[in-house]
Amino acid sequence: MTQAALRIIAGKEFSDHLRSRRFHLLFAILAVVAAVGMITGAVQYSKDLSDYNAVQMIAESDDDPTLAGNLAGMKPSILSAYSQMGMLMAGIGVVLGIAMGFDLVTREKESKSLKSLLAYPVFRDEVINGKALGGVGAIALAMGVVLVVSVAIMALFGIVPNLDELVRILVFGVTSFLLVFTFFALALLMSTVSKDSGSALLYSLIVMIVLSSFVPIFAYTPVYSAVFGDVPTPPGMSTYSYQQSSSAYTVTSVAVSYKSNDAVDPEALVEYERASREYMNQKRTITDIVTLVSPTGNYQTILGAASQPAGDNTPGLGNLLGALACNIIALLAMPAAFFGLAWVRFMREDIR
C-alpha cells in the first residue's frame, strides 16, 4: 500500500460525498435539527436560569438553609439542550451513515468501474481504505459543523459554557461521530457482500432496525417479563399493573397494589427479598448486555450521562468516563468490526 494512492482515493471519495445531493439533503436536515434543538434548549435554559436565580435570591434574603440546600447542585445547564438534540440526532445520524455507505462498492460494481480501477497500479486495500477514509472525513466534517453551529447559537444567546461543560459538549460531538461512523461501516460491509445497491440498502436497514429497535425491545418492554417472569410480589400483597406507554428504551406502567390484613410470615419476607434481589440483578445484567450490543443504546447511555448538569453532585469527567468505559469500548469496537469484515470480504472478492 502506498500513501500517495491512498490519499488520491480518499480525497476523491471525500469530494464525491461533499458533492452528493444525498449528502447535502441529509446534512441540511441534520443542521436544521441541531439549530432548532439548540434554539429551543437555549430559550428553556434562559428561563430555567432566571427561575433558579429568583429562588436563590429568596433563599438568601430569607436566610433559609433548607431552601438553599435544596438548590445545591440543581443549577440549570445548557447540556440539557444537547440531550434533546442527541435524541433527534440518533435517528437522523443513523440514516446519514447508511446513506453515505450503502453503495460505495456496489455502485462501482454496477458501473463496471471497479474492474477498471483495479487495472491501475493500486492495491485492493488502498481502494477499501481510501473509501473508508473519505467517508470518515465527510462524517467528521458534518459533525464538526453541527458542533460549531450549536456553540455559535449559544453565543448568540449570551451563554458561555464553563470548562467542564465544554468537555462534555466535546464528548457529545465525538460520540455522535462514532454513532454515524458505526452505521457507515455497517453500510460499507453490506455494500461489499451485496450484488447491487438495492440489496445493500435493504440489508443495512434490516440490521439497523434489529440493533436499534428489536434488541432494546427485548429488555425494555413487557417481552422481558414474558420470557423471565414478572418481578416478585411482596408477601401479603397483590399487585396489578398495566402498560400505559412505551418506547424502545422506556416503558411507563401503572401499578395498583392491595395489601391484606393477614400477618406476614418472616420466612416468606426473607424469601421475597432474596428473589427480588436475584430478579433485579438478572434484569440489570441482561439490560447492560443488550445496551452494549445496540449502538444507539450505547450512544444514548453515554449522552444521557454526559449531559447531566455539571452541578456540585455530578461526578467528575474522569469518574464519568470510567463508569461508561464498557459503552465507549462497545461504540468503538462495533464500527471496527464492521469495517474489518468489509475489508476481508473486499480483499477476497472475485472481481471479473
DSSP-assigned states of every residue in 198-266: HHHHHHHHHHHHIIIIIHHHHHHSHHHHHHH-PPPPPTTEEEEEEEEEE-SS-EEEEEEEEE-SSPPPH
Does residue 88 contact residue 33 with C-beta atoms inside 8 Å?
yes
User: pLDDT at position 352, please?
Assistant: 59
User: pLDDT at position 185, please?
Assistant: 93
String of b and e for 335-350 (b: at least 16 CB within 10 Å)? Answer: beebbebbbebbeeee
> Per-residue pLDDT for the chain (352 aa), expressed as one digit of tens each?
567 778 888 888 898 888 888 888 888 888 888 888 888 888 888 888 888 777 777 767 766 666 666 665 667 777 877 877 787 777 888 888 898 888 888 887 777 776 666 666 677 788 888 888 998 999 999 889 888 888 888 888 888 888 888 888 888 889 999 999 999 999 999 999 988 888 999 999 999 888 877 666 666 666 667 667 777 777 766 655 555 555 545 555 555 555 666 666 777 778 878 888 888 888 788 777 777 888 888 888 888 887 775 555 556 667 777 778 888 898 899 999 999 999 998 888 766 5
User: pLDDT at position 263, please?
Assistant: 66
User: pLDDT at position 339, please?
Assistant: 92
Does residue 41 contact residue 82 with C-beta atoms inside 8 Å?
yes
User: pLDDT at position 178, please?
Assistant: 92
Contacts for 329 with CB less than 8 Å, ≥ 6 apart: none
Grid cell 429568596 is found at: 58
Stated pTM of the model: 0.78
30: number of Cβ within 10 Å: 23
Grid cell 464492521 is found at: 338
Among the listed residues 202, 210, 123, 140, the one whose alpha carbon sits nearest the alpha carbon of residue 176: 140
User: pLDDT at position 319, please?
Assistant: 74
* 3-state secondary structure (DSSP) of residue 61: helix
The identity of residue 17, as a single letter, is H
For residue 151 the three cell numbers come to 456553540
User: pLDDT at position 55, please?
Assistant: 76
